[in-house]
Structure 1
Amino acid sequence: MLDGIHDIDWASLTHAYGSAEEVPALLRALRSPDAEERRTALDRFYSAVHHQGSVYPATAASLPFLFELAVDSATPDRASAVALLVSIGRESLDRGFEEDGTEVGYYPPMGCGQSVAFLRERGERFAELARDPDPDVRLAAIGAVGLFLDDADRAAEVLHERLAVEEGISARLRIVDTAAALALRLPEAAPPITDWLTGLAADTAQDPAIRLAALIQRFRCTPDDIGEDLVADAVDLLRATVHDLPARHIAPAHSRPEALAAPADGVPPQIVAAFADLDRHARVHAPTTALLRSFHEVLGDRVPERTAVLAEQVNSPAPGARLDAVRMSGELIRGWRGDHTQLLLLVADQLTTPDQEIAAEAATVLECCHLIAAPAREALAAHVEAHLALHGPDVWMTSDALVRRSHQEAVRALARQGDTRAVPSLLVALDADADADADAWRAIQVAGHLPRAADQLVPRLCDHLRRLDLSQQWTAMGANAIMTALTTLGGTAAVSVLTETLDAAVRHEQHGVTRSALGALRTFGSTAAGATDMIRALTTSTDAHVRPAAVAALWAVGRDLTDLTDEVMPHLLDILDDRISFPISDDVADLLGEMGPSAAAALPRLRKLLTHDYEWVRVHAAAALWAVGGEAEAPAVLDVLIQAMAQNPATANHVVTCLDRMGALAAPALPLLREQLAEPRRGGRFQDIAHDEELQRVSRRLISRLDPHALAGHG
């Protein structure tokens, strides 16, 4: 077993974290009789050697040994080895390569072509594993028949045979999914597979789940054939299917982040929680979830149809199916434009379920979608109030993990809508002893959305900021979050603690915190004039992030008291000449915009930056050029903005904001704006709800100003 493993120079190969010299030990551990040792090795393999689906030279070199483990009956938990092989192969195929094995977009080659070639040579062996006595091995191997067996007739024969004899719902669903994968990979397999799926979908002797799977997979193969009846037929089958589902089915995640083992000292709680969220999102709770995800992919931009399917999913009597449906609803709302009111209300209805995990997931979705989740506000408030009545005022810190998460997520969702009914629970978190397990950071993240409670929140936030020990690097994330909240809440009481924080951050060389403190003081303008000398000293900082922030802060806190143009312009001109491009960012561009014509000395440099290689630099330079130079610069500015938005849609928010300022001169951008509004997917920076809703709002306003008739069909 594993002969030849030491013939490979693993140290010269790489994985996600560098040298792959650990791989032999991981492979040996996968055969260990100790279950925990196997689990740890498998987690590490997914984390490093197959990181987020990546395929590295070390991944490809591991395949012969993984295959030995998979086919050796003495290997404990062979199914994990088979699943790992299939995952590597699937990801290699998705990344693509030429017939000669040359990989698309990778140089030097990472191993995708080599991996697929190795696995295809063993296609028949995978067909044998699909008949293995171990049902877990069969389940893991079925997908390989569609991916690696190149004899279409033989692959179809295996799938027909397995569907006739397999009894488990997960295996039967996997077989139907594999049939579609086979048809999509091998054109000669498509006609007979499509006919088979059509027959299965119509066969009333089959389980409803299998008929539903066949219906979905058949149109996955031929999406152009989708007709008006598809969703109605699928909903009817889904309604019949859920009665056969287990109450809660949890499929094990193939990869769990290593950081979940135990929160290490010095790891910010936000990071620990983020890994916990990743682990939660990697789990599915119903055997039909993967199938329904495929259905949503098939439906694509048909948002009303997808909403109808999700409505049925969310109303499922099976808790596991309902939990997954709530999460999928959030994915649709966050990723696609449309009227999501019905779906938001259906998600809000899940707050009343006694299953606190489902309620927490619903609250999480509503928090993420808070900008458009106003219809769910009263449901959130009722959920919070019910918790307080049942569990008492300290429910935020309850030891019941499910109730705690459900309550905290609902409070956070309510707070993000600016509803002061969230305040009592936030105060519990902020008032807890420093050593208490109060998740205060969760309260801090949303406190800035509650300006009406600023008198209660600001003093507490200031206390938390003062208590942070900035000599510890891990405190930076918490400090930045508090300063963000103080910036939005305002209040002169915050200025002194922000000044103290700036001083501490400089002393401890916390450059990120320094930049955040400068940005916060900037928002307070002349109220923060007492910090002028400290800010001025930082305008010569060698840190490329700190210096522009200091220059912008100096202008903001001092401009009402004296003319600082002559002082800040040399700094700005120097930054604009810097070969490092990222300092030419919001700080510099916004400051030049505020200075307007008085910054005319920057015009030659800004014009030069319009030809910079990086589109973000061009966009910031164009916005500043317009603010400083005005109409005379309009043609060049407009050309840069339109090209940048077409090249990189992530620049759209910055682009349309500048176009809005240009008014009638932005008319040549109308076709691009109309095209952008016609997109079904969310756009803008990060393609999230906040940036997309702002992008749509500004675009509509600009279009209505330039052409009042242009918004027909874009309401």
Structure 2
Amino acid sequence: MFDGLHDIDWASMEHAYGSAEEVPALLTALRSPDAGKRRKALDRFYGAVHHQGSVYPSTAASLPFLFELAADGATPDRAVVVALMVSIGRESLDQGFEDDGSEIEYCPPMGCAQAVAFLRERGAEFAGLARDPDPEVRLAAIPGLGLFLDDADRAVALLRERLAAEEGIAARLRIVDAAAALALRLPAASHQVRDWLAGLAADPAQGSATRLAALVQRARCAPDEIGEDMVPAAVGLLRETARAIPVRPIAPAPSRPGPPADGVAPQIAAAFEDLDRHTRVYAPTTALLRTFHEALGARVPERTTVLAEQLNSPDPGSRLDAVRMCGELMRTWRGDHTRLLMLVADQLTTADEEVAAEAAAVLEFCHPIAAPAREALAAHVDAQRAAHGPHVWAAAEARLRRSHQEAVRALARLGDRRALPSLLAALDSDVDAWRAVQVAGHLPQSADQLVPRLGDHLRRIDFSRQWNEMSANAILTALAALGDPAAVPVVADTLGAAVRHEQHGVTRSALKALGVFGPAAAGAQETIRSLTTATDAHVRPAAVAALWAVGGDLAEVMPLLLVLLDDPITFRINDAADLLGEIGPPAAAALPRLRNLLTHDYEWVRVHSAAALWKIGGQAEAPAVLDALLQAMAQNSATADHVVACLDRMGSLAAPALPLLREQLAQPRRGGRFQSIEHDEALQRVGRTLVTRLDPPAPGAPAPRPA
């Protein structure tokens, strides 16, 4: 076993965290009789040698020894070793090669090329693993038949053989998936695979899950051939499949050691819990249905129909997975999502708190479009408070607590005062108060009750501990959003404490908050002024902005802004340009430098400078501004929000932008900064208004349909 393992110079290779010299020990540990050692070695291998799907030369060099482990019947957990090999191969194909085996345009990582070459040489060995007596090994090996065998006829024959032999739903779904992967990778297999899948889908002798899989995978092979009958057929088979699969309660998450109470921000701990939660899949058909949604792509109404059926499943795990897919659809694709929002809101009333919590979390994330679900959220929150008391935010039962908290947060993000009682309970009890802080700023009408409580929490923060920065920043952001000058004293005190403890992130947040309060924060002006020469990259522009907002002294601020325009750090230039635009025509001294910045290498600098040029110089700057904006938007669609906002201010002078605007609005995917719902909805709203203003429809013509 492992002949030649130590002949390899592992120390000369690297993985995600440096030298790969530990790889021999990890490979050896995968054969250990100690289950704990095997699990630890596997976690480390995935975490370092195959980090987040990465394939390094050290990863590829491990494959011969992983094959030895998989082939040896004495190896414990052989299935996880086979699954690891398949994962390495799949990621290598995704990163370095097209599905047809040709290299993609950029040079693939060396490890990917090595891994693919090796696995294709040994592809025939997956046939033996796919016939292994151990069903778990067979299940893990099946994808390899589609990914690594280069003999199309043999691969198809093997897949047919396995489908006839396997009875379990999981294995049959993987076989059909492997067939589609084979057809996409090898054009020589395409026609026979597609014909086989079509036959399976139409064969009443096959189980409904197999027929659904065949229908979906054929659509994956040829998405352009999806017809009007595809979705109704899939919905019918999905309904039959849901009746055939046993209904099981959602299993609790595996227990894990909690983070240290001291030294880890609660937001970080919660983020890892969320990541762990979202990697769990509860229904055997979930991966298949994700494939179907990917094949349907921009067909939002059809996908909504499929999701409606998924949400109608009697199995809570299937519904939970479907709720997540609803969120993915709404944050990725444009369209009228009212029906989908209401379908998700219907899941709030389920008896399963895990599903209800996930539904509320999706509505919170989608809050810019979630208004149709407002009343359902309010009813859910009120019902929980009535059933479990006013302190349900801190309920001992974890699923109930999360369900309530997520619903309250979603309601608060809609600016609904009915979220306030639970937020106040959270702030008063200090149980998961950070979750209430994150949404408190959306209720400015309740500032009189929220600001004193937020201030108390801010005063209690120990700034000698770095991990408190996230909590302080969140409170400062909330206080700024609430906009109540009563918060000025605690914000000013926080600024002083942050400066003393060199908490630069908190310093910046406090400066931004004081800037929101404007002249009401004049008492902090000297501290603010002293920070305009700070060395921290973020603090200095924030201090200049706060100095202008609090004091309004143009003669003092202009020299500072002009220096920032010459800074090599691009976000400092952008911050300065934004503030100059806010000052407007009195900042005319900056015009020459702003004009020069229209030739900057970075498109974001050009966009911010162009916007400032228009605000300061107006119509005289229009040709250069328009040219810079359109070039930047064509180069990087993420700038669209900023560009369209400036075009809107330019009015009729923005007419040459009409073709680009129409092209942007015609895109089915969300666009703008971060491709987020919030930015994209604003982009669409302003863009449609601008197009109508620049090119109004002829009298009697129908109004354009929203994207």
Is the structural similarity TM-score above 0.5?
yes
Tell me the alpha carbon deviations over residues 418-476 of structure 1, each in whole angstroms, 9 at most, x when there is no partner.
1111111111111125xxxx111111001111112111111010111111111111111
| Map of 2:214 onto structure 1 | 214
TM-aligned CA deviation for residue 260 of structure 1: 6.3
Which of residues 263, 266, 269 is equivalent to 1:266?
263
| Map of 1:59 onto structure 2 | 59
Tell me the alpha carbon deviations over residues 85-126 of structure 1, each in whole angstroms, 9 at most, x when there is no partner.
11111111111249999775358x441110001111111111
TM-aligned CA deviation for residue 12 of structure 1: 2.5
| Map of 2:247 onto structure 1 | 247
User: How far, CA to CA, are the matches of 1:61 and 1:506 in structure 2?
Assistant: 50
SS at match of 1:399: coil
TM-aligned CA deviation for residue 251 of structure 1: 11
User: Which has the higher mean CA deviation after the structures are superposed, 208-217 or 21-30?
Assistant: 21-30
SS at match of 2:533: coil
> CA 1:576 to 1:84, structure 2 compared with 1: closer, same or farther past 3 Å?
same
Equivalent pair of 2:250/2:316 in contact (CA under 8 Å): no
| Map of 2:358 onto structure 1 | 361
Amino acid at match of 1:454: A
> CA 1:353 to 1:174, structure 2 compared with 1: closer, same or farther past 3 Å?
same
User: How far, CA to CA, are the matches of 2:363 and 2:292 in structure 1?
Assistant: 24
| Map of 2:479 onto structure 1 | 486
1:313-712 equivalences under 5 Å are 313-432=310-429, 438-559=431-552, 564-585=553-574, 587-709=575-697, 712=704
Equivalent pair of 1:101/1:114 in contact (CA under 8 Å): no
Equivalent pair of 1:678/1:714 in contact (CA under 8 Å): no
SS at match of 2:601: coil
TM-aligned CA deviation for residue 248 of structure 1: 3.6
User: How far, CA to CA, are the matches of 1:636 and 1:27 in structure 2?
Assistant: 61
Equivalent pair of 1:249/1:287 in contact (CA under 8 Å): no
Structure 1 residue ranges, 4+ long, deviating more than 6 angstroms after superposition: 98-103, 249-253
User: How far, CA to CA, are the matches of 1:679 and 1:61 in structure 2?
Assistant: 43
TM-aligned CA deviation for residue 11 of structure 1: 2.8
User: How far, CA to CA, are the matches of 2:103 and 2:180 in structure 1?
Assistant: 26
User: How far, CA to CA, are the matches of 1:276 and 1:243 in structure 2?
Assistant: 32
Please tell me whether residue 187 in structure 1 is matched to residue 180 in structure 2.
Answer: no
TM-score normalised by the chain length of structure 1:
0.95
| Map of 1:40 onto structure 2 | 40
Equivalent pair of 1:412/1:443 in contact (CA under 8 Å): yes
User: How far, CA to CA, are the matches of 2:2 and 2:462 in structure 1?
Assistant: 51
SS at match of 1:708: coil
TM-aligned CA deviation for residue 624 of structure 1: 1.2
TM-aligned CA deviation for residue 408 of structure 1: 0.7
User: How far, CA to CA, are the matches of 2:45 and 2:27 in structure 1?
Assistant: 9
Tell me the alpha carbon deviations over residues 106-154 of structure 1, each in whole angstroms, 9 at most, x when there is no partner.
58x4411100011111111111100111111111100000000111111
User: Which has the higher mean CA deviation after the structures are superposed, 572-581 or 299-308?
Assistant: 572-581
SS at match of 1:342: helix
Tell me the alpha carbon deviations over residues 153-206 of structure 1, each in whole angstroms, 9 at most, x when there is no partner.
111111111100111100000000100110111111111111111110010011
Equivalent pair of 1:219/1:298 in contact (CA under 8 Å): yes
Amino acid at match of 1:87: S
Please tell me whether residue 84 in structure 1 is matched to residue 81 in structure 2.
Answer: no
User: How far, CA to CA, are the matches of 1:580 and 1:449 in structure 2?
Assistant: 32
SS at match of 1:612: coil
Which of residues 271, 275, 278 is equivalent to 1:278?
275
User: Which has the higher mean CA deviation after the structures are superposed, 240-249 or 150-159?
Assistant: 240-249
Equivalent pair of 1:551/1:571 in contact (CA under 8 Å): yes
Equivalent pair of 2:265/2:468 in contact (CA under 8 Å): yes
SS at match of 2:573: coil
Amino acid at match of 2:174: R
User: Which has the higher mean CA deviation after the structures are superposed, 407-416 or 66-75?
Assistant: 66-75
Amino acid at match of 1:119: L
Tell me the alpha carbon deviations over residues 26-62 of structure 1, each in whole angstroms, 9 at most, x when there is no partner.
2222222222332232222222222221112221122
User: How far, CA to CA, are the matches of 1:658 and 1:548 in structure 2?
Assistant: 22
User: Which has the higher mean CA deviation after the structures are superposed, 681-690 or 12-21?
Assistant: 12-21
SS at match of 1:325: helix
Unaligned runs of 5+ in 1: none
Equivalent pair of 1:344/1:375 in contact (CA under 8 Å): yes
User: Which has the higher mean CA deviation after the structures are superposed, 71-80 or 146-155?
Assistant: 71-80
Tell me the alpha carbon deviations over residues 658-708 of structure 1, each in whole angstroms, 9 at most, x when there is no partner.
111111111111111111111111111111111111111111121122112
> CA 1:390 to 1:32, structure 2 compared with 1: closer, same or farther past 3 Å?
farther
Amino acid at match of 2:141: A
SS at match of 2:26: helix
Count of residue pairs the alignment pairs up: 701
Equivalent pair of 1:250/1:286 in contact (CA under 8 Å): no
Equivalent pair of 1:102/1:113 in contact (CA under 8 Å): no
User: How far, CA to CA, are the matches of 1:223 and 1:584 in structure 2?
Assistant: 46
SS at match of 2:283: coil
User: Which has the higher mean CA deviation after the structures are superposed, 3-12 or 685-694?
Assistant: 3-12
TM-aligned CA deviation for residue 538 of structure 1: 0.5
SS at match of 2:570: coil
TM-aligned CA deviation for residue 383 of structure 1: 1.3
TM-aligned CA deviation for residue 309 of structure 1: 0.5
SS at match of 2:572: coil
Q: Percent identity?
A: 74
Equivalent pair of 2:50/2:59 in contact (CA under 8 Å): yes
TM-aligned CA deviation for residue 252 of structure 1: 12
Please tell me whether residue 164 in structure 1 is matched to residue 160 in structure 2.
Answer: no
User: Which has the higher mean CA deviation after the structures are superposed, 497-506 or 55-64?
Assistant: 55-64
TM-aligned CA deviation for residue 319 of structure 1: 1.5
SS at match of 1:209: helix
Equivalent pair of 1:451/1:489 in contact (CA under 8 Å): yes
Equivalent pair of 2:374/2:411 in contact (CA under 8 Å): yes
SS at match of 2:390: coil
Please tell me whether residue 288 in structure 1 is matched to residue 266 in structure 2.
Answer: no
TM-aligned CA deviation for residue 249 of structure 1: 8.5
User: How far, CA to CA, are the matches of 2:444 and 2:674 in structure 1?
Assistant: 26
User: How far, CA to CA, are the matches of 2:102 and 2:259 in structure 1?
Assistant: 42
SS at match of 2:3: coil
| Map of 1:199 onto structure 2 | 199
Equivalent pair of 1:252/1:283 in contact (CA under 8 Å): no
SS at match of 1:111: helix
1:60-75 equivalences under 5 Å are 60-75=60-75
| Map of 1:302 onto structure 2 | 299
Amino acid at match of 2:278: H
1:92-107 equivalences under 5 Å are 92-97=92-97, 104-106=105-107
Equivalent pair of 2:96/2:107 in contact (CA under 8 Å): no
User: How far, CA to CA, are the matches of 2:705 and 2:400 in structure 1?
Assistant: 44
User: How far, CA to CA, are the matches of 2:386 and 2:555 in structure 1?
Assistant: 61
TM-score normalised by the chain length of structure 2:
0.96
